[in-house]
Structure 1
Amino acid sequence: MIDLEISETGLWTVTINRPEKANSLTEAMLEDLVDIITRATDARGFILTGTGKVFSAGADLDEARAGLATSTVWERLSKAMAALPCLKVAALNGTLAGGANGMVLACDIRLAVPTARFFYPVMKLGYLPQPSDAMRMSALIGPARTKMILAAGQKIEAEEACAWGLVDRLIAPEDLMAQARLLMVDALAAKPEIASGILAMCRG
């Protein structure tokens, strides 16, 4: 359900592959993602994407009710992604919902298809978001817009998300992965210490 491809140039591409369930995430899938990202210390670039028309609907509903919604694995996943020193691009093939926001917010660049929608219905479901999710979202789009998503439960269309800075560029579905790889060209060609040094300066 989590596919990994590693190119000869050091580009790691991770794909959430559970389209029949809107790429909803089980605990096993989340642990697989944490393991892959933790092992990607020598990656020269990292692309995160999904299959089908939804990037991820968040937690698998059955497992969410059984405790996954409040598991620490979400925070471990986003922290592992944030700590990865290479350039990280989220290529969002569709809607992004719930806890799946965390790993995407921890990426450096977010591309999305024009039909994507963005929401994080924690208030409605009776959960708190992961602490780093609220902080990273606020750093990107400001506290008021973050409250619109987290506290007011608003669903944001792709065009508005791009205008806000929640995503960086809208790309046609057939061009999404090509554009994600194109963003990696300089990072893959640069000396690793230069690429990671520039990224560290940009992240503050």
Structure 2
Amino acid sequence: MIELEKDDGLWIATINRPDKANSLTAEMLEELAEIAEAAQEARVLILTGRGKVFSAGADLEAAKAGLATSPLWERLSGAIAALPGLSIAALNGTLAGGAMGMALACDLRLAVPGAKFFYPVMKLGFLPQPSDPGRMAALIGPARTKLILMGGQKILAEEALQMGLIDRIAEPDTLLDTAREIAADTLAARPEIAAQIKALCTN
């Protein structure tokens, strides 16, 4: 249910479970983490999904079995954040719950018009994954982070762009092309130069 395409330094990982809103089982989450860990050798990693939802977070049955608080989420986002190359979340639709972490850990986030962003962890009785609030606050500030995590607000793509939660809006049929276009210069550059520029941007 996780597809991986490799093309000369470009890796595209696609969540393919559209009949279940691309909700993640423990096996899918572990596979994503393994891909992100292996992508140390990639120049660019793009995360996307099939259908009209990027991911609804944890699969309901898996969440009841403990996946909602699994360390796998943090393992995945940590591996993405540690990548020396460029990471792009090409969000083909709504992003919810724990799945927010992998997008927050990416360097860039693109989304289709009308995509919604929400993280209803508090009303479900859980804490967010440890690194998620800090990464979100770094993008949109503490107050807006509380608006999402404590106020339970659903943010539409257009407002998310204004906030800085996402970096660009692209139509569904051009989403991946837009991600590839953004990735082109990094793919053409010497990997060590790209890695050093990324380090300079984050220090």
Question: Which residue pairs with 1:139 in the alignment?
Answer: 138
1:126 alignment partner, SS class: coil
The CA RMSD measured in Å over matched residues stands at: 0.6
Q: Residue type of the partner of 2:81?
A: A
Q: Residue type of the partner of 2:6?
A: I
Cα deviation for residue 109 of structure 1 reads 0.5
Q: Deviations over 1:37-66 (max 9, x none)?
A: 111121011100000000000000011011
Separation in structure 2 between the aligned mates of residue 41 and residue 145 of structure 1, nearest angstrom: 32
TM-score, length of structure 2 as denominator length: 0.99
Residues 1:124 and 2:123 are matched in the alignment: yes
Q: Residue type of the partner of 2:169?
A: L
Cα deviation for residue 34 of structure 1 reads 0.7
Question: Which residue pairs with 2:31 in the alignment?
Answer: 32
- Runs of 4 or more, structure 1, over 3 Å off, are none
Cα deviation for residue 123 of structure 1 reads 1.1
1:161 alignment partner, SS class: helix
Cα deviation for residue 115 of structure 1 reads 1.4
Aligned length in residues? 203
Question: Which residue pairs with 2:5 in the alignment?
Answer: 5
User: 1:60-71 to 2 correspondence within 5 Å?
Assistant: 60-71=59-70
Q: Residue type of the partner of 1:3?
A: E
1:184 alignment partner, SS class: helix
User: 1:98-117 to 2 correspondence within 5 Å?
Assistant: 98-117=97-116
Q: Deviations over 1:54-102 (max 9, x none)?
A: 0000000011011111111111111011001100110000000000000
Residues 1:72 and 2:71 are matched in the alignment: yes
Separation in structure 1 between the aligned mates of residue 12 and residue 172 of structure 2, nearest angstrom: 17
User: 1:12-23 to 2 correspondence within 5 Å?
Assistant: 12-23=11-22
Cα deviation for residue 194 of structure 1 reads 0.2
Separation in structure 2 between the aligned mates of residue 52 and residue 176 of structure 1, nearest angstrom: 13
Question: Which residue pairs with 1:174 in the alignment?
Answer: 173
Structure 2, gaps ≥5 residues long: none
Cα deviation for residue 174 of structure 1 reads 0.8
Separation in structure 1 between the aligned mates of residue 73 and residue 41 of structure 2, nearest angstrom: 23
Separation in structure 2 between the aligned mates of residue 153 and residue 108 of structure 1, nearest angstrom: 25
User: 1:32-51 to 2 correspondence within 5 Å?
Assistant: 32-51=31-50
Question: Which residue pairs with 1:53 in the alignment?
Answer: 52
Q: Deviations over 1:114-155 (max 9, x none)?
A: 110000001110100011000000000000000000011110
Separation in structure 1 between the aligned mates of residue 40 and residue 117 of structure 2, nearest angstrom: 29
TM-score, length of structure 1 as denominator length: 0.98
